[in-house]
Amino acid sequence: MRSVRDIKVLEGIPVLVRASLNVPIKQGKVTNAFRLRSALPTIEYLRSRHAKVILMSHVSGTGAESLEPVYHAMSSFIHGMKFCPVSVGREAREAVRALSPGGVLMLENLRRNAGEEKNDPGFAKELASLADIYVQDSFDVCHRAHASVVGVPAFLPSYAGFTVEKEVKELAKALKPKSPSLAIIAGAKFSTKEPLIRKLLKKYKTVMVGGALANDFIQAQGYSVGASLVSKEGQDHIRELLKNKRIMIPKDAVVGKKGAKRLEGRITELSDIRPDEMILDVGPKTVKELQERAKKAKSILWNGPLGLFEDGYIDGTRGLMRGIAHSRAWSIVGGGDTEAAIEEVNAHEHFSFISTGGGAMLDFLAHGNLPGLQALD
């Protein structure tokens, strides 16, 4: 993978940067600028070498949303930045032509054009025609075969930006953990995380399965899980995985009736879950075991909240964070909901690295590569 640092000539050259500007917007205002700040090093590197920087990104939603609020937020970091209300066509070409060396232009939400998510070659070619060089700096979209991710780099010399480089470097470390190692995979939807669990079982000493994912395993051990969320398929896969000695399953649980808030939940042994109760978090015995393992570990990888933290079932997740905070291990964590849980208790500084990847992180760890990274070769 070639890095932005490997680009020989930048003076006056238009560079199309696939940036990660998909930030939360409420009432026309950006409510969290973390990603915008993370995008700055690559932009500043290109500007300081007098390239013409063209930023392109999506913002999630219906596809109709505008990036204009993001442009306003970003303008406080990049003085004199410009905005173009479309992403391709004559108006976009003219906006690029009007850029002076060192200038920065932000294109409108890529997903306003249906060609983006369909990876339409015509759309990709039009985007590519705006610049001479492509830089991928949005790791979180690299698992998607979209026009701005895999289409454009087919037409231009392509490089990785600093955030992509850093993600790949850190995630590669997670695939070579130091022993003893601990991986925790929790959250929901077993089928999306099964390939990763299988991969990690080959590399980590302990792979703890938690959150709603664990319900299937608890049920397969013969316990009654009441009204808990369980998968419909894959029971035989789970029985097979349970034979692996490296798998760790919760020892106890916090249960509650559907819709009940944390205060109404109760701690229980797995053998005593009533038919109308759901497993909503791991219990204190499980947290204690996790903390002990985290303390001994040299490498820790974590994805997925251990409980329904949005409804207040955050004790398990918080306990795990504490365990990681008190450990001297190198630690990496990621996932959209996991990040939200970390945000909720303001625990960012406890981790060696927080991936912005979400689905891209899971795919990279499971398969060792991503379409958007392969497209850079």
Give the residue with the Cβ less far from ligand ADP, 105 or 185. Answer: 185
User: Is 285 annotated as catalytic?
Assistant: no
**What is the three-class DSSP state of 197?**
helix
Residues 6+ apart with CB under 8 A from 339: 354, 356
Instruction: State the residue for tokens 């820790």.
Output: 300
Q: From CA 20, how far away is CA 166, in angstroms rounded?
A: 14
Q: Does 303 bind ligand ADP (CB under 6 A)?
A: yes
Is residue 337 near Mg ion by the rule CB under 5 A?
A: yes
Shortest Å, Cβ 358 to ligand ADP: 6
- Which of the ranges 81-89, 143-151, 269-277, 308-316 carries the binding residues for ligand ADP, by CB under 6 A? 308-316
Q: Which of 336, 353, 359, 366 binds Mg ion (CB under 5 A)?
A: 336
Binding segment (CB under 6 A) for ligand ADP, from list 36-44, 157-165, 283-291, 329-337? 329-337
Other beta carbons within 10 Å of 157: 13
Residue 99's binding partner among Mg ion, ligand ADP, none (Cβ under 5 to 8 angstroms by kind) is none
Q: Which is nearer to ligand ADP, 108 or 281 (CB)?
A: 281
What's the DSSP call for residue 331? Answer: E
Cβ of residue 24: shortest distance to ligand ADP, in angstroms? 15
In one letter, which amino acid is 19?
A
Cα gap 256→188, rounded to integer Å: 18
First to last CA, the chain: 6
Of the CA atoms within 13 Å of residue 259, those in its CB half-sphere come to: 0
Catalytic residue among 169, 189, 239, 261: 189
The one among 161, 177, 187, 256 contacting ligand ADP by CB under 6 A: 187
Q: Is 35 a catalytic residue?
A: yes
153: which 2 tokens?
């780099």
- Where helices occur in 62-134 by DSSP H, the ranges are 68-75, 90-97, 115-118, 121-128
Minimum Å distance from CB 336 to Mg ion? Answer: 4
Query: The dihedral of CA 9, 15, 20, 25: what is its sign?
Result: positive
User: Least CB distance from residue 321 to Mg ion, whole Å?
Assistant: 17
115 annotated active-site:
no
Min CB(142)–ligand ADP separation in Å? 16
Residue ranges binding ligand ADP (CB under 6 A)? 187-189, 211-212, 229, 279-280, 303-305, 307-310, 335-338
